Structure 1
Amino acid sequence: MRLKNLVYCLPLAVCTILPFAHAQPGPYAVIDRWTIGGEGGWDYLTMDSVAHLLYVTHGTRVEVIDTKTGKSVGAITGLKGTHGVALDSDGKYGYISEGAGNNVVVFDRKSFAKVESIPAGTNPDGIIFEPVTKTVWAFNGKSSDATVIDTAAMKVIGTVKLSGKPEFPQVDGKGTVFVNIESKNSIVRLDAKSLKVAAEWPLTGCESPSGLTMDTVGRRLFSVCDEKVMSVTDADSGKILKLVPVGDGPDAARYDAVNHLAFSSNGEGTLTVVDTSTSDYKVIQTLPTQKSARTMAMDTSTDTIYLAAAVMGPKPAATAENPRPRATVTPGSFTILVVGRK
């Protein structure tokens, strides 16, 4: 096996990332690294550009980081495994998908205090706020459905059955919710007002779609998939417009409407930057990051991307209960990588 990058780790988990041999030059670079530390794995990151706060799900807690300083300003703790954070449009509440607790935990965005725990389906994972109906949609990985919460009443108003295991959702700001169905290699369009599935489209050539982002003006969806692919889909017809090569192990996608760029964060340790301004969908940069940096958030107001990563140890042996175990995280090594323009 040829190694494209190497990670050298010194005591206290200080690492130097050596560049990929075939990395493409481009406009972005890793400009900073913030050591968060602690233990356990992580999942999605959510950016509040107005408040300059980054929410990072991290094991049994959600870290809250001031992006002006890179320092922690608080945390929501005492949770049973976290996946994602959704933010309302009023700047008042946040909503955490508490996977192991089968709940959506509501917190105050000023004090970071927990204010409510709302039962969801089994293992809520991807979560998003829909602004037209002012609802939160929690997508439940093990029960293959979506729990819909009225944010005014803080109660469940419906459950929408899905065809398979959902992954990351997106909204178009007009009352439609989209979500990747990982186990069916498809994407579902949901009507937020009727709480019904409006359409389901196959993502041919896209195995196990996970991360999803949207160009709401151009009406395009970008799904990142196994087999090193980003699928570009017409959000109205479901037609696949392009399959774009990305790095290995992608798990998150983001879209920059100002610069017309789509991003894929890849667990192999790269960030793929795609020019979406033409039908060619040319990859303009493959940026070396850090192995395991598979999830990200973007602050479009500053053209900054935040990636979560850690030094990974060995994988435990597979068991019947856990046939695909993840590698262990080296304690104290959890880090946020800051990517910006050179």
Structure 2
Amino acid sequence: MTGKATVRPDPWRWAAVALSALCGVAACASAGAQAPLALDRTIPLAGVKGRIDHLAVDVAGQRLFVAELGNGSVEAIDLRSGKSLGRITGLAEPQGLAYLADRDELAVANGGDGTVRFYKAADLAPAGMVRVGDDADNLRIDTRSGRLVVGYGDGALATIDPASRKVVSELKLPGHPEGFRLDGPKAFVNVPDAGAIVAGDIDQGRVTATWKADHRWNFPMALDGNGALVTVYRLPARLAVMADGAVRGDVSTCGDADDVFVDGRRQRFYVVCGSGDVEVRSSTPPYASLGRAKTRSGARTGLFVPEQDRLFVAARAAGSAEAAILVFKPID
């Protein structure tokens, strides 16, 4: 999730060294349980090298978009056939993606040059650009207005009007924003550089609350749909559930997580981890582990699409195994 402009340590290197000390006996034992996820199919990403960052989906058009950060590219995949529809190349560390359904456009946040670039989703032709600042990272869509919100730099969320290609407001933060989620005008943001979780109002451009992070390197975040915030830490590897700043649960999970999703129908969390696992946990107290599905080392990003009832996990190339999207079907 980090770009060229702001160099940060890879937490998993350090977490791997300390794993035996940080992983409790019960937690490590539960890691062997089979998760209620079945590998449905594997979609190859031909010729893709290096890290893969975030994904976006066009549900109606059944297209998946993949930020191939280490390859400097973004790929469009036809989910019906599993074939590539084309690739945008020459990008400077593409990280965050957002599909704008009302415009049939794809937005790409690039960490290397601090831009958000727009492309026509039909043919991936360039359609515009906004320069926001160093390390443009995660992208979210404000569903009230269709505007984009991007995290970037040493600490800000910028709101972009896709029609005018202009930044219309900013929310200043105490450090670089990693995972964040929107709920109306409210923004909830992981700020690991500041050891904090921050709540803010993107309409008013002000921070409304700051909570001290209980652990280090809080990267992925989700909202459970019932007023609770889900944060996953990398050191130690923990999943925490909180509401209004009060922690409801704090449990162990897999290491080097960069995405977490909520399956509301089944009341589950899916934690996507670079340790080579997806952990499934109950989203109700005491947040019991339901097992882990094996993926591939470094496969720490993904996307759960409720409309298709599938979890997509991005697996980087390793040895003789080419890069791929691993498609998992939840098992009831």
- TM-score range normalised by the length of the shorter chain: 0.7 to 0.9
- Out of 257, 281, 284, the residue aligned to residue 290 of structure 2 is 284
Q: Partner amino acid for 2:62?
A: H
Structure 1 segments of 4+ aligned residues over 4 angstroms from their partners:
none
* CA distance in 1: counterparts of 2:144 and 2:30, whole angstroms: 47
**Does the CA-based 8 Å contact 2:155-2:172 persist in structure 1?**
yes
Structure 2: which amino acid aligns with 1:193? D
Determine if contact 1:47/1:298 at 8 Å carries over to the other structure. Answer: no
Look up the match of 2:62. Answer: 52
CA distance in 2, matches of 1:331, 1:156: 44
The answer to whether 1:224 aligns with 2:236 is: no
> Is the Cα–Cα contact under 8 Å of residues 130 and 171 in structure 1 kept in the other structure?
yes
On the 8 A contact 1:133/1:193 being kept in 2, the answer is: no
Question: Are 2:238 and 1:249 aligned?
Answer: no
Q: Secondary structure at the match of 1:105?
A: strand
Per the TM alignment, residue 231 of structure 1 is displaced from its structure 2 partner at its CA by 1.4
Matched residue type, 1:334: A
Is residue 134 of structure 1 aligned with residue 146 of structure 2?
Answer: yes
In structure 2, C-alpha distance between the alignment counterparts of 1:255 and 1:175, rounded to whole Å: 21
| 1:112 is aligned to 2:128 | no
Q: Which residue of 1 aligns with 2:7?
A: none
Aligned to 1:156: 167
Q: Which amino acid aligns with 2:193?
A: S
Provide the C-alpha distance between the structure 1 equivalents of 2:170 and 2:102, rounded to a whole number of angstroms. Answer: 24
- Residue from 31, 37, 43 that aligns with 2:46: 37
Structure 2 distance, partners of 1:249, 1:166, is 17
Percent identity reads: 24
For 1:298-309, what aligned pairs fall within 5 Å after superposition? 298-309=304-315
SS in 2 for 1:100: coil
**Secondary structure, aligned partner of 1:95:** strand
Contact 2:50 2:317 in 1 (8 A): no
Larger % of helix: which?
Answer: 2
Shift of 1:56: 0.7
CA distance in 1 between partners of 2:30 and 2:42 (Å): 22
Counterpart-to-counterpart distance in 1, 2:112 and 2:253 = 31
Whether contact under 8 Å (2:138, 2:178) holds in the other structure is yes
Q: Which amino acid aligns with 1:215?
A: D
Unaligned runs of 5+ in 2: 1-15, 20-28
Q: Is the 8 A contact 1:31 1:339 kept in 2?
A: yes
In the TM superposition, residue 22 of structure 1 has moved relative to its aligned partner by: 5.0
TM-score by length of 1: 0.82
8 Å contact kept, 1:133–1:192:
no
* TM-score, normalisation: structure 2: 0.84
**Residue correspondence of structure 1 range 1-342 to structure 2 within 5 A:** 23-38=32-47, 39-59=49-69, 60-140=72-152, 142-172=153-183, 174-204=184-214, 206-216=215-225, 218-226=226-234, 227-234=236-243, 237-276=244-283, 278-312=284-318, 333-341=322-330
Residues 88 and 189 (structure 1), Cα distance of their counterparts in 2 relative to 1, 3 Å cut? farther
**Which deviates more from structure 2 when the two are superposed, residues 123-132 or residues 181-190?**
181-190
In the TM superposition, residue 21 of structure 1 has moved relative to its aligned partner by 10
CA RMSD in angstroms comes to 2.3
Question: In the alignment, which residue of structure 1 is the partner of 2:6?
Answer: none
What residue ranges of structure 1 are gaps of 5+ in the alignment?
5-19, 313-329
CA distance in 2, matches of 1:283, 1:332: 29
Paired residues, number: 302
Counterparts of 1:102 and 1:110 in 2: how far apart (Å)?
25
